[in-house]
């Protein structure tokens, strides 16, 4: 759907995108790197959480496959996922660690199929930006990916966001790819640039790699269309400025967030 030049989406489609965007404003993730109002997303160094370290390890395991079609969920991956389950388990007593581990194993099989169907390796998150592993921003991007991929199979719930991050580890960083300057200069944690970057990268990734989702021009405004990374930039940021002004996530208390 779409091209490098802007076109008209129907009103209902844009309304659904906006509804989805508002639904992620107060989302946090079990095991994420930064605290509620932390600024660790743009501090250089190693991953700042155990989840970040495990995600980095899992990414390395995925890349060990000599060919895309040879990717398998190895014993090492299963062991990493077991450790992740202890971090990602629902803290509201809605599941056990064993339940969480089994879900991650099931999701891993779905990830394997999606990864192989896509047909190419994920973009590399450079070592100098390894602090980005496990951040709320990276996981928010991963959630967007998994939520929209799940719409292709209405009988299944979305995969855990960790698998969305593994499909594109640099997703959600401000600026193109694994850039450092733009992210370090413009990333604003729970501000409009952060939210826009997560959904813009997510929607753009989905249409260019899986031919689904709203595309880069997710609000259907501007000169550039769904397949161009230039699409949706200005109007997307303006939209999120209004949303952040409406909900003030940067001032929110921990109780206002939904943890996933």
Q: What is the pLDDT of residues 111-123, one digit of tens each?
A: 999 999 999 999 9
d(CA 260, CA 243): 21
User: Which helix (H) or strand (E) is 28 found in, with range?
Assistant: strand 27-28
Residue with the larger pLDDT of the pair 80 and 193? 80
What is the token pair recorded at 108? 């891993």
Residue 180 lies in a domain: yes
Domain contains 99: yes
Measure Cα distances from 85 to 73, 127, 180 in Å. Answer: 16, 25, 31
Residue 123 lies in a domain: yes
pTM of the model: 0.88
| HSE toward the beta carbon, residue 169, CA cutoff 13 A | 25
Domain annotation covers residue 5: no
- In the chain, alpha helices (H): 11-23, 50-62, 75-88, 97-118, 136-150, 161-167, 181-186, 192-210, 233-247
Asked, for residue 125, whether it belongs to a domain, the answer is yes
Q: How far is CA 93 from the centre of its chain?
A: 25
Find the helix or strand (DSSP H, E) in which 258 lies: strand 258-259
Over residues 48-90, the pLDDT tens digits come to 789 999 999 999 999 999 999 999 999 999 999 999 999 999 8
R_g of the chain computed on alpha carbons? 17
pLDDT tens by residue, 135-162: 999 999 999 999 999 988 776 899 999 9
pLDDT score recorded for residue 62:
98
- Specify the range with the lowest mean pLDDT, choosing from 23-32, 37-46, 48-57, 202-211: 37-46
Evaluate whether 137 touches 194 at the Cβ level (below 8 Å). Answer: yes
**For residue 177, is pLDDT > 70?**
no
CA–CA separation, 247 and 258 (whole Å): 14
Residue 3 domain-assigned (yes or no): no
Domain that holds residue 201: 11-259
Asked, for residue 183, whether it belongs to a domain, the answer is yes
pLDDT, the chain, mean: 86
The reply to whether 218 falls in a domain is yes
Report the alpha-carbon distance of residue 120 to residue 168 in Å, rounded: 11
CA 132 to chain centre: 12
Total domains in the fold of the chain: 1
């Amino acid at each position: 759907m779409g091209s490098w030049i802007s076109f008209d989406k129907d009103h209902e489609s844009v309304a659904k995108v906006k509804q989805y965007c508002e639904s992620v404003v107060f989302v946090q993730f079990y095991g994420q790197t930064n605290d509620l109002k932390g600024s660790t997303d743009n501090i250089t160094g190693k991953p700042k959480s155990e989840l970040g370290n495990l995600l980095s390890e899992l990414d390395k395991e995925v890349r060990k496959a000599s060919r895309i079609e040879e990717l398998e969920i190895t014993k090492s991956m299963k062991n990493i996922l077991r450790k992740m389950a202890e971090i990602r388990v629902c803290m509201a007593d809605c599941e056990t660690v064993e339940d969480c581990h089994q879900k991650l194993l099931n999701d891993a099989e779905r990830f394997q199929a999606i990864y192989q169907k896509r047909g190419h390796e994920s973009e590399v998150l450079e070592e100098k930006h390894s602090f980005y592993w496990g951040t709320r921003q990276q996981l928010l991007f991963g959630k967007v990916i998994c939520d929209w991929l799940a719409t292709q199979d209405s009988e299944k719930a979305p995969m855990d966001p960790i698998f969305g991050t593994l499909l594109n580890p640099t997703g959600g960083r401000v600026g193109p790819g694994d850039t450092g300057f733009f992210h370090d200069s413009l990333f604003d944690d729970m501000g409009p640039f952060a939210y826009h970057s997560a959904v813009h990268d997510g929607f753009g990734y989905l249409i260019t790699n899986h031919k689904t989702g709203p595309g880069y021009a997710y609000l259907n405004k501007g000169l550039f269309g769904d397949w161009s990374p230039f699409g949706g930039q200005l109007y997307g940021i303006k939209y999120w400025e209004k949303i952040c002004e409406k909900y003030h996530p940067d001032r929110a208390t921990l109780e206002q967030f939904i943890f996933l």
